[in-house]
C-alpha cells in the first residue's frame, strides 16, 4: 500500500470573520494535499497574529494581516482577498521584499455588476416611490408623473473608467439592456490582442476579448479623462484602483464637463462609484447632485469609511449608498481560492502568476 503523500504546501488563511464550519471544510477540500491552517485575526482587539504561524507558512491568504519581514522567509506567495491593495501599499512586505503577491481581481465582477444595474433601475424606474406606496398600502397611479419622469436604459451611453474585470462585466450587462459602452484604461489598447482580459475570468462573464466597447480611450492625466467625459455620457462608472494619480481624479470641473456634454432629454448623467471613495472629491459630488448637474449617484464606497452619521453625503439628493458590500456573496471565497489553486500549480511549473501585483504600478 502506498504511503500518504506529504503536504506540498503549508497554507495559512487569515480572516477577521468567524467562518462557519462548512466554509472551513470547503477550504480543506480545495487543497486536499496541503497543510491548511485557518486563523481568525482580532484587529479590533489589537491582538497580533502569532509569529510562528507566519514562519511556518509557504502560502499566505489574507486581507489586511501581513507578517514582519523576518517572519516571511518561507513564503512563496501572498494572496490577498481584495482586488485593490491600497490598504497595504506602505507595508514593508510590499515595499522591501519581492515576495510574489496576487489579488482577487476577477471575483467581484458578477455581484458588483448586478449591484450597479440594480441601482440604475431603482433610480430610473422610481422603485423607491412604488416601494414606499406599497408599505402604506397606497395605489399610487399618477400616470402623468410616471410617463414623464421614468425612463429605460436603451440607447444610453455608459463610460467605464477602469476597464478591468468589474468594468467588463458591467459592460456585458449594459450591452444586454441596449446601452453603448465606452472604455477608459490607463495605457493604450490599440490592437485586438491588447484588449484581451488576461486576469482571472469567471466562465461566461465579462468581456474576455474586449469586443464590447464602441470606443477605447486611455491616459493618466486630467486632460485625457476630461476628453472621455466629453463623449456625452449618460452613465459614468468609476472602477479605478486608488493611486496617487487617481486620488480626487473627479472634481468640480469634471462633473461640470460631464453634465455639460450630456445630450439626454430627460435626465442628467448618473455616477456610479464601486472603486474607492477617494477617487472622487466628495464635496464636489455633493455640490453636483444639489445643483442638478448630476441626476444621481450610486456609491458603494465613500470617503471616509464608515461614513459618519453627520456627513452631508447622506442628505444629498438622489444618492444611493451601500457600505462597501457590492462585491460580497457566498461565491466570493470559493472564487478567490480558485485563484490560489491556479497559482500554486503555476509556481510548481515555473509559469507567470495570475493576478500578479505589479510593485511599480501599485496595482
- Give the start-to-end residue ranges of the domains of the chain: 10-107+331-349, 109-321
CATH superfamily of 10-107+331-349: NAD(P)-binding Rossmann-like Domain (3.40.50.720)
Residue 362 clears pLDDT 60, i.e. is over it: no
Residue 18 clears pLDDT 50, i.e. is over it: yes
Cis check for the bond before 304: say yes or no (omega within 30 of 0): yes
Relative to beta strand 10-15, strand 101-102 is: unpaired
Give the pLDDT mean for 130-144.
89
**Grid coordinates standing for 219?**
491616459
Give the pLDDT mean for 305-319.
98
Residue 277 clears pLDDT 90, i.e. is over it: yes
The vertex-299 CA angle with 297 and 302, nearest 5°, equals 125
Give the pLDDT mean for 321-326.
97
Give the pLDDT mean for 254-283.
95
Residue 263 clears pLDDT 70, i.e. is over it: yes
What CATH architecture applies to the domain 109-321?
A: 3-Layer(aba) Sandwich (3.40)
The vertex-131 CA angle with 126 and 134, nearest 5°, equals 135
How does residue 149 score in pLDDT terms, banded at 50, 70 and 90?
confident
**Grid coordinates standing for 123?**
433610480
Residue 1 clears pLDDT 60, i.e. is over it: no
Short-list 17, 22, 15, 26, CA closest to 53: 15
Q: Give the dihedral sign, CA 155/161/163/164.
A: negative
How does residue 148 score in pLDDT terms, banded at 50, 70 and 90?
confident
d(CA 344, CA 326): 28
pLDDT at 271: 98
10-107+331-349 and 109-321 in the same fold: yes
d(CA 15, CA 266): 47
Give the pLDDT mean for 114-140.
95
Residue 3 clears pLDDT 80, i.e. is over it: no
How does residue 84 score in pLDDT terms, banded at 50, 70 and 90?
confident
pLDDT at 154: 96
Q: Could you tell me the maximum CA-CA distance found in the chain, to the nearest angstrom?
A: 80
Residue 40 clears pLDDT 60, i.e. is over it: yes
231, 257 contact by CB (below 8 A): no
Average pLDDT, the chain: 94
Amino acid at each position: 500500500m502506498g504511503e500518504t503523500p506529504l503536504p506540498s504546501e503549508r497554507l495559512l488563511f487569515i480572516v477577521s470573520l468567524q467562518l462557519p464550519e462548512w466554509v472551513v471544510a470547503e477550504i480543506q477540500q480545495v487543497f486536499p494535499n496541503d497543510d491548511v491552517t485557518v486563523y481568525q485575526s482580532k484587529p479590533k482587539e489589537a491582538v497580533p497574529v502569532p509569529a510562528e504561524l507566519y514562519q511556518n507558512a509557504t502560502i499566505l491568504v489574507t486581507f489586511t494581516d501581513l507578517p514582519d519581514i523576518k517572519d516571511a522567509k518561507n513564503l512563496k506567495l501572498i494572496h490577498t482577498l481584495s482586488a485593490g491593495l491600497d490598504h497595504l501599499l506602505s507595508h514593508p512586505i510590499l515595499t522591501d521584499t519581492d515576495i510574489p503577491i496576487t489579488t482577487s481581481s476577477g471575483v467581484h465582477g458578477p455581484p458588483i455588476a448586478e449591484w450597479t444595474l440594480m441601482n440604475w433601475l431603482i433610480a430610473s424606474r422610481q422603485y423607491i416611490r412604488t416601494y414606499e406606496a406599497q408599505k402604506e398600502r397606497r395605489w399610487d397611479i399618477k400616470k402623468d408623473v410616471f410617463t414623464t419622469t421614468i425612463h429605460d436604459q436603451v440607447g444610453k451611453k455608459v463610460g467605464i473608467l477602469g476597464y478591468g474585470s468589474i468594468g467588463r462585466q458591467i459592460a456585458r450587462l449594459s450591452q444586454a439592456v441596449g446601452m453603448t459602452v465606452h472604455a477608459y484604461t490607463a495605457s493604450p489598447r490599440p490592437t485586438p490582442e491588447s484588449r484581451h482580459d488576461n486576469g482571472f475570468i469567471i466562465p461566461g462573464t465579462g468581456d474576455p476579448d474586449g469586443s464590447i466597447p464602441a470606443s477605447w480611450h486611455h491616459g493618466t492625466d486630467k486632460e485625457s479623462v476630461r476628453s472621455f467625459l466629453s463623449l456625452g455620457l449618460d452613465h459614468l462608472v468609476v472602477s479605478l484602483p486608488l493611486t496617487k494619480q487617481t486620488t480626487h481624479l473627479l472634481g468640480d470641473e469634471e462633473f461640470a464637463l460631464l453634465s455639460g456634454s450630456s445630450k439626454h432629454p430627460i435626465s442628467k448623467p448618473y455616477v456610479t462609484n464601486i472603486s474607492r471613495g477617494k477617487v472622487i472629491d466628495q464635496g464636489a459630488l455633493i455640490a453636483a447632485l444639489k445643483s442638478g448637474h448630476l441626476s444621481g449617484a450610486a456609491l458603494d464606497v465613500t470617503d471616509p469609511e464608515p461614513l459618519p452619521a453627520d456627513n452631508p453625503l447622506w442628505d444629498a439628493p438622489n444618492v444611493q449608498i451601500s457600505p462597501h458590500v457590492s462585491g460580497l456573496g457566498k461565491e466570493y471565497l470559493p472564487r478567490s481560492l480558485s485563484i490560489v489553486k491556479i497559482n500554486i500549480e503555476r509556481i510548481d511549473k515555473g509559469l507567470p502568476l495570475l493576478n500578479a501585483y505589479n510593485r511599480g504600478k501599485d496595482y
